[in-house]
């Protein structure tokens, strides 16, 4: 027999229904959020500047301010209900607590470089809000301790500038693009021009502060070695919100040398690149980082399109020693002294980032990007040199696209001496990494043809790159590899991309996620999933994960 529901219960049920987040009009959601933040935050929040709503004239400019991929800024792209810009660590704690309490889906942005915009666009659920850390950008350099505390919203260029401000002989081995937000950059690994000498940025992290799913601020000692392992290369947006990184500074010489040497198909690009593959990672001095930037351009003499390969390098030392190194192991490049420019470490970083030589270093403090396009990117890793026939087929396909860009980054040196399981980033025993991009400038262009081209190029490269799994770099996020289509992510869905980004480390990341965020509060299109409840209960109580620091 069915029991009637008392009137009081009906009223309570009504109250419950109208208080659920999905039943709220937009204004009510903002009001509830503001009210909750004011109650939960230790330091009062100036909501007039910290909470940016779509009714505010600054909403779209701020949303677009650090976003790199214009594909996700078109009018049809999902927009957040509002953007919250914390001014203090406690504000981040409050936003986690309130988002959980109100059932609001969070996205967290530190620099806006996420290739598929997972830090500021949700394609799997709405409504959502963006927590933008751009105002949390302190950098505290301690030369005596050889360390720096960097807040998540600072750009890597700001970090470089602040280090160089204190010392000409200290640096940090991280990204080539200076507008990268430190918070997200290091969560993916953070490779850069000194990785052959010192490893990744994530290899040189010695402490961190993170807001966990309960709103607690945890340092390395409080979070434990498992979570500390996971956040250094396990990808952003899965385990909590990074507030600070404590990074280890590395020695750099006062004189650093840079150069760029071009080779076109007409001047032997195929032969030179074939040799570069054989020596760049295995034979060249680890003080030398020499990447290859490949573009299609108009031939200077014929006017026809040709492939141009640019050998762009940073050498931790003077030009004379650099010439000895290159002429001994890579004479095919034809490097001469007039190609070389001696400079400081900071200016060498700016050179690699594409700044003109006359640019004052203070531009790094602005944290602005030099690259903003409609683009699609993919990545690969190579263990054996691509044969000449493979390169010739590659050139042919590049010539079919309007504005292709391919970048080859050499590994070897310290990268090969660090275990694949030392941190979640597993790509150690490789010769080089490939980044493929297709770019366009107009929203009205046929996006489909560019997507089709890069996918066909990616398929063509399959015989020449790593397999089982075909590896990919998590900071070059690629939703072609698989998408978590709903908030209740399954292990099977996630393994499609998880094994490519993390190889065998993916299983350990899942176990850590299940422990620290079992209800999957921190999630996005390619976040680490927790184990399903039945599997979690089977492993509870007798599972111990190996500790790595």
Catalytic site positions: 476
Q: How far apart are CA 316 and CA 515, in angstroms?
A: 43
Q: How crowded is the C-beta side of 255, counted as CA atoms within 13 Å?
A: 9
**Rounded to the nearest 10 degrees, what angle do helices 345-353 and 156-166 cross at?**
160
Quick check: 230 and 239 in contact, CB under 8 A? Answer: yes
Q: How far apart are CA 529 and CA 251, in angstroms?
A: 39
Residues in the chain: 549
Q: Buried b vs exposed e over 361-374: b needs ≥16 C-beta within 10 Å?
A: bebbbebebeebbb
User: By C-alpha distance, which of 292, 311, 316, 300 is closest to 266?
Assistant: 300
Quick check: 241 and 210 in contact, CB under 8 A? Answer: yes
Quick check: 465 and 390 in contact, CB under 8 A? Answer: no
* Largest interatomic CA distance in the chain: 94
The string of DSSP codes covering 301-321 is TT-SEEEEEEEEEEESS-HHH
E-only strand ranges, 102-229: 105-109, 128-132, 139-142, 147-151, 170-171, 205-211, 217-218
Query: Residues 515, 517, 518, CA angle at the centre, nearest 5°?
Result: 70
User: By C-alpha distance, which of 119, 121, 88, 104 is closest to 22?
Assistant: 104
Quick check: 163 and 249 in contact, CB under 8 A? Answer: yes
Query: Phi-psi bin for 103: left (phi > 0), alpha (psi -120 to 50), beta?
Result: left
In eight-state DSSP terms, residue 467 is -
CB atoms within 10 A of CB 64: 14
Q: How far apart are CA 21 and CA 100, in angstroms?
A: 11
Q: How far apart are CA 56 and CA 48, in angstroms?
A: 10
Assigned token pair, 235 = 């990808």
The string of DSSP codes covering 52-112 is E-TTSTTHHHHHHHS--BGGGSSTTS---S-EE--SSHHHHHHHHHHHHHHTPEEEEESSS
Residue 419 dihedral angles phi and psi, to the nearest 5°: -60, 145
């Amino acid at each position: 027999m069915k029991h009637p529901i008392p009137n009081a219960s009906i009223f309570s049920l009504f109250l419950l229904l109208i208080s659920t987040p999905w039943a709220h009009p937009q204004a009510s959601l903002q009001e509830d959020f503001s009210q909750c933040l004011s109650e939960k935050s230790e330091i009062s929040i100036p909501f007039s500047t910290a909470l940016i709503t779509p009714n505010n004239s600054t909403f779209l400019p701020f949303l677009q301010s650090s976003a790199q991929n214009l594909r996700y800024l078109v009018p049809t792209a999902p927009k957040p209900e509002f953007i919250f810009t914390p001014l203090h660590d406690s504000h981040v704690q409050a936003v986690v607590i309130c988002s959980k309490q109100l059932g609001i889906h969070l996205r967290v942005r530190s620099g806006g470089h996420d290739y598929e915009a997972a830090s500021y666009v949700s394609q799997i659920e709405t409504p959502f809000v963006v927590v933008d850390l751009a105002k949390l950008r302190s950098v505290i350099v301690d030369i005596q301790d050889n360390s720096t505390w960097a807040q998540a919203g600072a750009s890597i260029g700001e970090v470089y500038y602040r280090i160089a401000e204190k010392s000409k002989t200290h640096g940090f081995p991280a990204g080539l693009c200076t507008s990268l937000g430190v918070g997200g950059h290091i969560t993916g690994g953070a490779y850069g021009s000194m990785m052959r000498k010192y490893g990744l940025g994530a290899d040189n992290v010695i402490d961190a502060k993170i807001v966990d799913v309960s709103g607690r601020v945890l340092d390395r000692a409080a979070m434990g070695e498992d979570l500390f392992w996971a956040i250094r290369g396990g990808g952003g947006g899965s385990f909590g919100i990074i507030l600070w990184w404590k990074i280890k500074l590395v020695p750099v010489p006062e004189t650093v040398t840079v150069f760029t040497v071009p080779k076109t198909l007409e001047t032997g690009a195929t032969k030179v690149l074939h040799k570069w593959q054989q020596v760049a990672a295995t034979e060249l001095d680890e003080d030398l980082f020499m990447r290859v930037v490949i573009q299609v351009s108009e031939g200077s003499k014929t006017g026809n399109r040709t492939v141009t390969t640019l050998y762009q390098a940073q050498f931790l030392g003077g030009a004379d020693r650099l010439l000895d190194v290159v002429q001994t192991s890579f004479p095919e490049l034809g490097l001469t002294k007039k190609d070389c420019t001696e400079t400081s470490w900071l200016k060498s970083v700016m050179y690699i980032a594409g700044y003109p030589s006359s640019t004052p270093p203070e531009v790094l403090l602005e944290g602005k990007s030099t690259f903003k396009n409609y683009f699609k990117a993919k990545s690969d890793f190579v263990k054996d040199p691509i044969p000449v026939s493979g390169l010739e087929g590659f050139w042919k396909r590049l010539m079919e696209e309007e504005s292709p860009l391919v970048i080859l980054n050499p590994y070897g040196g310290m990268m090969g001496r660090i275990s694949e399981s030392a941190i979640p980033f597993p790509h150690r025993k490789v010769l080089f990494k490939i980044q493929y991009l297709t770019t366009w400038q107009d929203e009205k262009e046929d996006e489909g043809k560019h997507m089709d081209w890069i996918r066909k190029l990616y398929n063509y490269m399959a015989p020449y790159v790593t397999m089982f799994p075909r590896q990919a770099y998590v900071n070059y996020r690629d939703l072609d590899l698989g998408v978590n289509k709903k908030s209740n992510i399954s292990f099977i869905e996630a393994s499609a991309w998880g094994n490519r980004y993390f190889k065998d480390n993916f299983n350990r990341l899942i176990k850590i996620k299940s422990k620290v965020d079992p209800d999957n509060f921190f999630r996005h299109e390619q976040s680490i999933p927790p184990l399903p409840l039945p599997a979690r209960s089977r492993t509870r109580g007798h599972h111990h994960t190996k500790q790595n620091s």
